[in-house]
Amino acid sequence: MQNVLCLASFLKICHRNDPNLNECVKRSVDSLKPYLKVGIPTLQIPSCEPLRVPHIEVSQAAGPISIKSTYSDIEIQGGTNVILKSINVDVNNDRVGLKLFFPRLEMTAHYNMNGKILLLSITGNGLARGNWTDIDVIATIQSERYQSQKTGEIHYRVTDIYVDLDVGYASIHLDNLFNGDKILSDAMNLFLNNNWDTVAAEMKPALEQTISELFKTFSNKIYSKYSIDTLLPP
């Protein structure tokens, strides 16, 4: 009962046999948005504004881009403005499908980069700043059921996540390219932004993997704390 009351304080309880289950769960997820800005201590979920990501690595050796880059101390603003376009809860197959839209995301990070982009050499390290707009995300979260050894109750656990990301527009600025050579740096930043779609396409797998890990962490924190009968009672 205590878990139910705690959950009900920030999530609307939906019944698994509700003929309008998807609409109910959508309202419930939407009700989480104000809590994401400040964090949810009971779930050990920190503030998501900004969203902090420790590390992203991009390693690409084929196609127009041959590059290895790392991004650390990443901060992303705008994630809590996400719009949940639709959700599909498949109780029988323990699967959830989501369609999300992010109007705008702003990123700062420390980067280290070395390689070639469209036959042009690029090297540098320093501050990276990026903006992404009109981002559509399609995600499928597959779970399995397990019995808690502590309580004997049945819980969900995420086993696999599929994410497809589509960016409407992106821009980026990399400080300290070519050891601080301003002429070369300005030329490369202009080139990157003129060819943003090619660059974004090459970074897409790494970004989708990062989003998958965030979804998995967030979902499993809720699933591990609350049983299926608490989250979706009969």
Tens of pLDDT, residue by residue over 87-136, are 999 999 999 999 999 999 999 999 999 998 777 788 999 999 999 999 99
In a domain, 185, yes or no: yes
**43 is a domain residue:** no
State how far Cα 160 lies from the chain centre: 15
Q: Is the pLDDT of residue 155 over 60?
A: yes
Q: Answer yes or no: is pLDDT of 194 > 90.
A: yes
Answer whether residue 62 is part of any domain: yes
Q: Decide: 75 and 107 in contact? Cβ < 8 Å.
A: yes
Separation CA 160–CA 147 (nearest Å): 19
Look at residue 82 and tell me if it is in a domain.
yes
2 is a domain residue: no
- Return the structure tokens found at 77: 């603003």
Contact 140, 161 (CB under 8 A): yes
Of 211, 232, 234, the C-alpha closest to 223 is 232
User: Where in the sequence is the domain holding 130, given as residue range(s)?
Assistant: 52-231
Cα(60)–Cα(150) distance, integer angstroms:
45
Cα angle 122, 199, 102 (rounded to 5 degrees) comes to 135
pLDDT in the model for residue 86: 98
Whether residue 40 lies inside any domain: the answer is: no
Identify whether 45 is part of a domain: no
Report pLDDT for 13. 86
The region of weakest confidence among 29-38, 83-92, 171-180 is 29-38
Spell out a b/e string for 124-150, using b for 16 or more CB atoms within 10 Å of the CB, else e: bbeebebebeebebebbbebeeeeeee
Count how many domains the chain has.
1
For residues 167 and 102, give the distance between their C-alpha atoms in angstroms, rounded to a whole number: 9
Phi, psi angles (nearest 5°) of residue 107: -125, 140
Domain CATH number, residue 146? 3.15.10.30
pLDDT on residue 35: 85
Would you say residue 67 has pLDDT above 70?
A: yes
When the pLDDT of each residue in the chain is averaged and rounded to a whole number, the result is 89
Residue 74 lies in a domain: yes
pTM beyond 0.75, yes or no: yes
